Structure 1
């Protein structure tokens, strides 16, 4: 029985790690190394829970492991941002195609959006990623971030205003793509 749970978790991890990594890249504004660390931390926490017959805490079951993993990822990101060392960034030469591997059809758009996201505070960035990348409701976002629905609405409005300000008049150009 223990082997089958491990197999189930490995299947889950293989299926979700790409999605978690993309979300982590957005949360970290393109810092792929930190994104990988966050995904590993998320999968590690999920594995620890997986072995407990699917229980979280005392009585609740993991009804939607994918959504729960996303919540764990956001909480790991916010925890990381609170650490003193989180502001330290190594300097040096960037790889030639750091964004090109995941840039999709338009690398310039990806870079512009990642730069704009990088200027948002971590909690605002988390709200934008959960609401608009993950397409979660206000209530689901509030639950994932452990804040009120009103706080999510307020952060959404402020974060979107900052993104519009940062992207300037060209936001319609980005939206049209």
Structure 2
């Protein structure tokens, strides 16, 4: 028997975090909604088994990551990003944060799917290297090398993010 109410309660409690992870993986709102919907459908079908693990969020993150990679393999299309960041207005900190967010989104979109997943899981979801490796179904060494390659590529693609990456790395240490 499926515990529909338990699943609904879980989704209500975790939807903001799962939505954010899906958005960062997919690179757009519509794609993130599709990705999250696919992952939650798969999770709903197996909810009794997933909830019995004691850590359903980790399991659903793994489904989310695998759906992300699977969709890329099916379509193999490239996202079209704009070449320029919008002009800065004089609205102060809020504008600077918005521009930084746009630059970050564009830089993440230029990473490989695996590199993007590592960055999202490690720095936005705050998972350890071991937890990231478990979610991705790979070794800790692969997570370390993919993280190194991704951060190096981000430094090249968007040097203005260097301060943000430095601050994030200090928090992780």
With over 3 angstroms needed to count, the CA separation of the structure-2 counterparts of 1:88 and 1:170, relative to structure 1, is: closer
TM-score (norm 1): 0.78
Q: Which runs of 5+ in 2 are unaligned?
A: 82-93, 168-173
The answer to whether the Cα contact below 8 Å between 1:20 and 1:39 also exists between their aligned partners in 2 is yes
Higher helix share: 2
Task: Using structure 2 for the length normalisation, give the TM-score.
Answer: 0.79
Name 1:33's counterpart in structure 2: 30
* Number of residue pairs aligned between Structure 1 and Structure 2: 156
5 Å-filtered alignment, 1:4-15, equals 5-15=3-13
Separation in 1, partners of 2:41, 2:152: 36
User: What RMSD, in angstroms, separates the aligned Cα atoms of the two structures?
Assistant: 2.7
- Does 2:68 correspond to 1:77? yes
Select 1:22's aligned residue among 7, 20, 23: 20
Displacement of 1:32: 0.9
Structure 1 residue 79: Cα displacement: 1.0
Deviations 1:50-107 (A, max 9, x none): 1xxx325xxx942211122111111110111111x2406589xxxxxxxxxxx99821
